[in-house]
Amino acid sequence: MPYKEKKVEKLYYSIGEVAELFNVKPSLIRYWEKEFDIIKPRKNKKGNRFFTVEDIENFHMIYYMVKELGLTLKGAKKKLKENKEGTTQNFEAVKYLKKIRSMLIEIREDL
């Protein structure tokens, strides 16, 4: 049985890496960090922020609500405060459906 090397996933991401993932400026990441209490990066002695995978998932959810659904920050905060679990489930469902859609498009192109 051949050895399969696992993909190494980072534990912490810098603010620049997170900003690059979402194609936004680091200042927006800092602003969202202040506005949403679900994002809690670790900071080193110099004050550099290090985001976990959970923080990045929360950024995905916020990005989806603000940029794709068109909610205001106030509306997104209210939605998370009132029904975080439901919002998370909706976001996960949309993410799963987008993945299925991309697979179907890929299959169509192969035919």
pLDDT tens, residue by residue, 84-93:
777 777 778 8
Identify the band that residue 4 occupies on the pLDDT scale cut at 50, 70 and 90: low
Helix/strand/coil (H, E, C) string of 49-99?
A: EEECHHHHHHHHHHHHHHHHCCCCHHHHHHHHHHCHHHHHHHHHHHHHHHH
The CATH topology of domain 13-110 is Multidrug-efflux Transporter Regulator; Chain: A; Domain 2 (1.10.1660)
Q: What's the pTM value of the predicted model, to 2 decimals?
A: 0.71
Res 88: pLDDT: 74
Per the document, the length of the chain is 111
Residue 11, SS3?
coil
Cα gap 56→91, rounded to integer Å: 13
Q: Where in the chain are the domains? A: 13-110
Closest CA to 76 of 93, 103, 97, 58: 58
Q: 53-77 pLDDT, tens per residue?
A: 889 888 888 888 888 888 898 988 8
Residue 1 has pLDDT above 50, yes or no: no
For residues 104-110, give the mean pLDDT.
89
5 against 103, higher pLDDT: 103
Task: For tokens 């912490």, name the residue.
Answer: 12
